[in-house]
Chain A
């Protein structure tokens, strides 16, 4: 009787150990941990954590409650980290891009330079093409992303500092101040 109990306990422990490995996602956990603590001067919300990979927390696996499909931060210039608000981020997925009548979907950066689309308002059919414009910027100003987004809704997964073989650096609107809106 006692032997049977021992076997049952050991079997249960073994099963628990095996199942325990399947319950967590250490890669996701590490990704979230690597973001570090919140800036105490910025409340959690639309203005927080500019330049970080938003989908780490907002990708539907937590810890954030709101889930985004695409999100990022636009800075004014390549060599500075001043955010640029009011930038119109135009996204065309593989459904919209071939259609000359489709304008894709627009979203606008906030005061922190952040933009985001909730997963229930835009579910991209990758690849996605991205274009930046600003209503008060000089004519012709803005950026068109040369390549496409293949599968990652976090712009900062690829666009992070420093510039190197694996990153073109943070997203920026203009090469120099002459390409910025007058108020900047």
Chain B
């Protein structure tokens, strides 16, 4: 009986505290995760024609790609362009003139936009641009989802029309051009 009591006391004294520590350690380690994405996984779907991207890219370079916003290396949505982050060594920001981005910068920007949520983007494109607010890109720009830069796009304005038209597959170049005149 005394032996049982001693064992129970020992469990209570050391077992429970150890359990608390173990649970805490487990919870902490659980956040670090160990599984990696499948390197061979590919998103198959319909994506916008890169040839239609330039007017949107020009708008995004000017409206989103300043060096303190999406013209930063650490961003998921990273925008290269002449008035912000440059892709090629030797190119400098703000050496702009009429040039908004180089060919390689347009390609990188296209990859950045499409790579944000490829499955969702493909679904929106497949649906002819319907329900574009499925995209974080649209939600953030409208500040419907928390966006440090606030509502840079207002539903129905030139920028909005520019972006949404790209999602339908027919770019509204005039709206993209008009968006550049916005403050």
> Are chains A and B native binding partners rather than an unrelated pairing?
yes
Identify the closest chain B residue to A3 (Cβ).
Answer: B12
Instruction: Tell me which of B21, B68, B88 contacts A165 (CB under 8 A).
Output: B88
* Whole-angstrom distance between the Cβ of A168 and the nearest chain B Cβ: 4
**Is A88 at the interface (CB under 8 A from chain B)?**
no
**Is A150 at the interface (CB under 8 A from chain B)?**
yes
Q: Cβ of A10 and Cβ of B183 under 8 Å apart?
A: no
Main secondary structure of the interface of B (DSSP, over half): loop
* Whole-angstrom distance between the Cβ of B153 and the nearest chain A Cβ: 12
**Is A183 at the interface (CB under 8 A from chain B)?**
no
Instruction: Tell me which of A3, A10, A150, A166 contacts B149 (CB under 8 A).
Output: A150
A166–B90 Cα gap in the complex (Å)?
Answer: 11
The segment from B39-47, B92-100, B125-133 that touches chain A is: B92-100
Identify the closest chain B residue to A9 (Cβ).
Answer: B17
Q: Contacts A10-B17, A10-B21 hold; do A150 and B12 have CB atoms under 8 A apart?
A: no
For window 28-66 of A, CB contacts with B under 8 Å fall at none
Q: Contacts A10-B17, A146-B83, A147-B84 hold; do A166 and B93 have CB atoms under 8 A apart?
A: yes
A145–B84 Cα gap in the complex (Å)?
Answer: 12
**Is B107 at the interface (CB under 8 A from chain A)?**
no
Q: Cβ of A167 and Cβ of B93 under 8 Å apart?
A: yes
* Whole-angstrom distance between the Cβ of B140 and the nearest chain A Cβ: 13
**Is A140 at the interface (CB under 8 A from chain B)?**
no
Instruction: Tell me which of A7, A97, A145 contacts B17 (CB under 8 A).
Output: A7
**Is B16 at the interface (CB under 8 A from chain A)?**
yes
**Is B141 at the interface (CB under 8 A from chain A)?**
no
Cβ–Cβ < 8 Å partners of A167 in chain B: 67, 93
Give A contacts to B, CB under 8 Å. 2-3, 6-7, 10-11, 14, 17, 92, 94, 97-98, 126-127, 129, 145-152, 157-158, 163-169
Using A148-B66, A151-B148, A164-B92 as known contacts, list a sample of 16 further A-B pairs with CB atoms less than 8 Å apart, ordered by residue number in A.
A10-B21, A127-B66, A127-B183, A147-B66, A147-B67, A147-B93, A150-B68, A150-B149, A158-B66, A164-B89, A165-B92, A165-B93, A168-B92, A168-B93, A168-B94, A169-B92
